[in-house]
Amino acid sequence: MIDPHIEQNNEGTIGGGFTGTMNDNENPSADQTNKHFDYKVIATDGNARAGEFATPHGLLQTPVFAPVGTQATVKAITPAQLEEMGATLVLSNTYHLFLRPGDELVTRMGGLHEFMQWHKPMLTDSGGFQVFSLANMRKVDEDGVTFKSHIDGSMKRLTPESSIQIQENLGADIIMAFDECSDPTNRDYVEQAMERTHRWAQRCLEAKKRDDQALFGIVQGGIFDELREQSARVISSMGFPGHAIGGLSVGETKAEMYHSIEVVNAILPPDKPRYLMGVGTPEDLIEGVLRGIDIFDCVLPTRLARHNSAMTLSGRLNLMNATFAEDQRPIDEQCTCYTCRTFTRAYLRHLIVAKEMLAATLLSIHNLHTLLQLARDLRQAIIEGRLQSFADEVMTKLSIPRIPERQI
């Protein structure tokens, strides 16, 4: 049975296969920027930008990495710990919060900031990627997506309009247009999904009511230059106050992902923030910033922590290994996080072997701090005009070769 909470029809959609651009006179939502949000670039170094993005819950200094709090919590971490490590932006998941506890309950609890006691900026995704990940458990049509809940097997429905309604109920500062994320290498499907994403983006603009939320449009197009260019032009013509690059880190090579970023950012307006969705290894932050990305998020640091792995700028450490049983060093002697200031590798390995919950917390603190500090260091390197040398230094320590930027 379809959940009656979700709209099943939309009478105000753009018909057919809208793939062109619109000017301000054709698009009644052509400029979504308002008094609640302001983005400015304060320094550049090549294609990289250091910026400031003002939101209703505070200022974001970019580049910035956002820890992921899928179900209104960053796994194993308290909001106070996030603040201590210097996090300024947290992402939560529309799909998961719609299913449990429900966006209307969150509204009754005062909104997502109050519900989870995080009072700095927040971002919610639209649910598009999670629905894409359900594979055979979902059916896409022009109006939206019908899918089977992974929790209880009940049938649910998401449309561009209901995704916006849910995100408005949740109340994050930055919200995402509902998109269709496809296999990035299947050209026919990529083009079909891209065109549908464009039509859904316009419906999201028309559905949005709150002016204290910044709605970002999402660029799709897989690994195909001409489709990425087309999507970047269409989405940037719609007047969104910021833009996201979606459909990457889902099966393509690193070189293909980085090139797609170059293609898109050559077209997106430079005076609006750019968000690379779901990407968050140290090397991806470096390569993304070099190509003009401002915002990143990823579950990787906390997921690795729950699997006994520590991220460092010299590579990963599997702390389950017996070689750490009597190692009195911290995870990273250069790191200033609480875990590295306080505990040894030997103690962390003991927690892992004993299956103590504290292991996940301490490793998550370290892994998140590593990416948050890297983003801060990248920002400072941009301001000081030494980004290339800083990037070379870190990539050398990681033993990962740089992938040169192509001329677009």
Cβ atoms of residues 211 and 33 within 8 Å: no
Integer angstrom CA distances of residue 339 from 81, 301, 311:
11, 14, 13
Q: Is 294 a catalytic residue?
A: no
- Encoded tokens for 157: 């429905």
Q: Is 125 a catalytic residue?
A: yes
Distance between CA atoms of residues 362 and 14, nearest Å: 50
Strand duo 48-55 + 38-45: pairing: antiparallel
- The one catalytic residue among 103, 179, 297, 332: 297
Strand duo 58-62 + 48-55: pairing: antiparallel
- Encoded tokens for 295: 């915002």
b/e burial code for range 227-237 (CB count within 10 A of at least 16 → b):
bbbbbbbbbbb
Q: In 240-291, where do the E strands start and end?
A: 243-245, 274-276
Distance between CA atoms of residues 300 and 308, nearest Å: 12
- The one catalytic residue among 125, 173, 284, 332: 125
Cβ contacts of residue 322 below 8 Å, gap of 6+? Answer: none
Cβ atoms of residues 155 and 1 within 8 Å: yes
Distance between CA atoms of residues 371 and 215, nearest Å: 25
Q: In the chain, what is the straight-line distance between the N-terminal and C-terminal CA atoms, in Å? A: 49
Chain centroid, CA 135 distance in Å: 21
Cβ atoms of residues 64 and 88 within 8 Å: yes
Cβ contacts of residue 101 below 8 Å, gap of 6+? Answer: none
User: What are the catalytic residues?
Assistant: 125, 297
